[in-house]
Structure 1
Amino acid sequence: MTGTLFTNARLIDPDAGTDTIGALRVSGGRIAEILSGPADATGDTVIDCGGKCLAPGIVDLGVKICEPGERHKESFRSAGRAAAAGGVTTMVTRPDTLPTIDSPEQLEFIARRAAEATPVRIHPMAALTKGREGREMVEIGFLRDAGAIAFTDADRVVVDTKVFGRCLTYARSLGALVIGHPQEPILSKGAAATSGKFASLKGIPAVSPMAERLGLERDLALLEMTGARYHADSLSSAAALPALERAKAAGLDVTAGVDIHHLTLNVLDIGDYRTFFKLKPPLRDEEDRLAMVEAVASGLIDTISSMHTPQDEESKRLPFEEAASGAVGLETLLPAALRLYHADALTLPQLFRAMALNPAKRLGLPTGRLEAGAPADLVLFDPDAPVVLDRWTLKSKSKNTPFDGARLQGKVLNTYVGGTEIYAA
């Protein structure tokens, strides 16, 4: 058997939960075998990993690419380069574009642009309601046939409970996955921070974390009624976790995710009104951050994503209350996540379970694994390399990262999709 042999690698297997030295052979775009002892390299191209970490490529659930409508913020080409540099081999893209991705024709445009412009795999999500307006359900069946991997109105909550219930019922009949952004929309409207003494002292309009719990409780009640498949994205507060735990214990088909910013930052980071720290949902208290880290460790929270949301300078150079929400994260997801590894909060297999294996499993994708037969989507990285992040070196068109100037540990060395190198540091 000939192919490419990665030797002297620290193999991070999220499924087995192991972190071991070994070798991995790639042939025909797939992982052919994993070897724990000496490997016969006859006929192979040999890549010596130098004891660095080799893990499944990251499957990033919830990436905003601003095509169509806002290419000045991010294009498929720039997002693809950023993903490759960040070890992200699969991007699951959001439909909150201009116009909204809510028809088969628009999905076909996405697929065509992705194939032309990006070296990574793209799986687009479609809107759940037309125009993300929460009034009329999209043609879920036609959009599934056109390639929609899931359905979501992104950060807009479907306020009309009857409409949302109807969407869940129809999605269940087709086996489609619905992704929600749990917040109580009336309480959350206009909020830029989490309520508490800090927000009051800074004079920032705020919302209680209970708004997230209220939103999640409603969605879970409808889930119990309809039996649909549901994923709650961007959970951020300890208050929401008991409801999630009860739903899982009751056997509901529910998973949940957290974004990297809510795992590594807290409300105090917005102290000098830096709008790069303005996110949706807003940054929470340190107790919430620690609760979310523990929930990832226990498996209660299934996925970690970047929630990559590019914003231009004009929309961020405004008073904190008026500035646009969101941060880019494709390139910073892995080094930021490694903060948790270096703090002994999560192991590398736990991190890649949440960043690669679990999102792939939830979406029915064969990626995110280190096992024979799986696609050879891989990231080689040095978990200890020191990096001082300079936002102007990011490959995204938008530079709105809260990690500008941060001292991080961890650097992507090479990224491979289907065994083909798409990035080298």
Structure 2
Amino acid sequence: MDRLIVFRHVRAIDPSSALDAVIDVVIEKDRIVRLGPDAGAEAAKAEWAQVITAPGAWLLPGLVDLHAHLREPGQEYKEDIRSGLAAAAAGGFTDICAMPNTLPVNDSRMVTEAMLARAHEVGGTRLHPIGAITVGQRGESLTEMGDLREAGAVAVSDDGRCVTNSAVMRRALEYASVFDLPVIQHAEDHALTEGAQMHEGSVSTRLGLRGWPRVAEDIIVSRDLLLAEYTGARYHVAHASTEGTVRLLREAKSRGLRVTAEVTPHHLLLTHEAVGLYDTACKVNPPLREQRDIEALRQGLADGTIDAVATDHAPHATIDKGCEWSEAKPGMIGLELCLPLLLGLVAEGALPLARLVTSLTQAPAGIARLPDKRIREGARADLVLIDPEERWTIDASCLRSKSHNTPFLGRTVKGRVKMTMVAGNVVFESTPRSS
């Protein structure tokens, strides 16, 4: 019997289709076949139909994460593809893009194909590898980007290391453009951040830690925008963190450059004050900055200067974080917490709901050249069902990631993913179906 799933009386929200209404959505096999008020009334009568009646729930297109670290191959004790995809599904993500700083680095067809084969074996949320820009992420010789593209890579990046050599970056932009691959830059002038431990400001001074200045990011973004204009290539700023980056991006976009950017939930929510007395859960790269940066980033996201939200999901084991600050690894998990945390910004009026949905669906899908994320007839049934009213406390015991390195443990949030569907298949469900 063909699969038949019927959502009754849900609030379907899809800004790309100008949809925000309480309707029924009917899914057959892997496609949305009907939607509208009472569109599922007849289908729900079929004895083989799976009916989800969820008044008050929101149905969104499946979420897309442009920036995650799954640690496989090489550091599976922190995370692996199975646990990472499970965490993604629990967070409402139907597609995630995995950064290449694995062991070995994903700088070849062999590693890309191995990651995809493992993801296919696991099933669930789709994995899209990102290949390295340079061999070994050493910033010297370019990878075979054509091979990476053929193997399934959707972008190239040396994330974790900046391509600081201007000639190498120029060649990377030119070469990647041949294959319509975006070049994702980790913008950091390493000469300005050598030995730096956190944002350069009053907190770093108080704690006696070497500071990481905003200008280390702004200089690279500024240079890269000039190179992107010169080459006409697609350029993407990873985890934007400064008001200067927002200003530079806004100006570049006003001139029609092919540039995009992402911001993480933690850079929208936390300042360097969260570090407190050396809380290693708040050690991230780039570092948490100041309130003026948060305000600029929020405004940039709201007005489209920053295109997408990306989690920068960076799992670390206790041994990597339960140590003195200087030895702790940077990064925090985000796949399962992204949506509920940012719904808090919507509730505060700091970010329109439609803009949040776009930044997690259509915008990142477009950057990675993935199929559209839409709720309309004929569209692939990649969907996430959310209870916007459920309050819950973030606790390590409820997380599917292997690692629990986040400063948000213990925080009560409002809004919870109830179901995630990939091509009509339910890959996560927090409660049994109603019938």
Match of 1:35?
Answer: 36
Task: Show the counterpart of 1:199.
Answer: 204
Give the CA deviation at 1:16. Answer: 3.8
Distance in structure 1 (CA, Å) of the matches to 2:107 and 2:63: 26
CA distance in 2, matches of 1:12, 1:325: 35
1:201-350 superposed matches below 5 A = 201-350=206-355
Q: Distance in 1 between matches of 2:173 and 2:34?
A: 41
Cα RMSD after superposing both structures: 1.5
Alignment map for 1:360-399 (pairs within 5 Å):
360-399=365-404
Q: What is the alpha-carbon distance in structure 1 between the residues aligned to residue 330 and residue 138 of structure 2?
A: 19
Look up the SS of the partner of 1:387 in the other structure.
strand
C-alpha displacement of 1:26: 1.3
Residues 137-177 of structure 1, C-alpha deviations (whole Å, 9 max, x = no match): 00011111111111111121012111111111111222221
Q: TM-score, normalised by structure 1?
A: 0.97
Give the share of equivalent positions with the same residue, in percent: 37
Q: 1:38 to 1:377 in 2, by over 3 A?
A: closer
Partner of 1:175: 180
- Matching residue's letter, 2:25: L
Contact 2:17–2:374 (Cα < 8 Å) also in 1: no
Q: Report if the CA contact (8 A) 2:26-2:40 is conserved.
A: no
Matched to 1:347, the amino acid is P
- From the superposition, tell whether residues 80 and 174 of structure 1 become closer, same or farther in structure 2 (CA, over 3 Å): closer
Task: Give the direction of change, closer, same or farther, for the CA distance of 1:46–1:392 in structure 2 (3 Å limit).
Answer: closer
How many residues are treated as equivalent by the alignment? Answer: 425
Partner of 2:433: none
- Residue of structure 1 in register with 2:140 after alignment: 135
Q: Where do 5+ consecutive residues of structure 1 fail to align?
A: none
1:39 is displaced (CA, Å) by 4.2
Residue 13 (structure 2) pairs with residue 15 (structure 1)? no
Q: Deviations over 1:206-242 (max 9, x none)?
A: 1221211111001111111111111111001111112
Shift of 1:190: 2.4
Shift of 1:379: 0.8
1:10–1:22 contact (8 Å) kept in structure 2:
yes
Q: Name the aligned partner's letter for residue 41 of structure 1.
A: E
In the other structure, the counterpart of 1:412 is 417
Give runs of aligned pairs for residues 41-80 of structure 1, distance below 5 A.
Answer: 41-42=42-43, 43=46, 44-80=49-85
206-215 vs 44-53, greater mean Cα deviation: 44-53
Is 2:120 aligned against 1:147?
Answer: no
CA contact (8 A) 1:205 1:321 kept: no
**Residue 95 in structure 1 maps to residue 95 in structure 2:** no
Secondary structure, aligned partner of 2:206: helix
Give the drift of 1:24.
1.3
Structure 2 unpaired stretches of 5+:
431-435
Instruction: Choose which of 158, 164, 167 in structure 2 pairs with 1:162.
Output: 167
Q: Is the 1:17–1:349 Cα contact (8 Å) retained in structure 2?
A: no
Alignment check: 8 A CA contact 1:83 1:330 kept: yes
TM-aligned CA deviation for residue 2 of structure 1: 8.2
In structure 2, C-alpha distance between the alignment counterparts of 1:114 and 1:64, rounded to whole Å: 14
Q: Is the 8 A contact 1:81 1:118 kept in 2?
A: no
Alignment CA distance shift 1:346-1:16 (3 Å):
farther
Cα contact 2:66–2:368 (8 A) shared by 1: no
Contact 1:392–1:399, Cα closer than 8 Å, also in 2: no
Q: In structure 2, give the amino acid aligned to 1:15.
A: S
Task: Compute the displacement of 1:121 (Å).
Answer: 0.8
**Separation of aligned partners in 1, 2:39 and 2:56:** 14
Q: Distance in 1 between matches of 2:110 and 2:67?
A: 21
1:18 is displaced (CA, Å) by 4.4
The alpha-carbon deviation at position 408 of structure 1 amounts to 1.1
Measure how far apart 1:321 and its partner are.
2.5
Letter of the structure 2 residue corresponding to residue 359 of structure 1: P
Is the Cα–Cα contact under 8 Å of residues 123 and 148 in structure 1 kept in the other structure? Answer: yes
Counterpart of 1:138, as a letter, is T
Shift of 1:37: 5.2
Q: CA deviation at 1:294?
A: 1.2
Which whole-Å deviations, capped at 9, do the CAs of 1:389-414 have from their partners, x for residues lacking one? 11233111111112111111111111
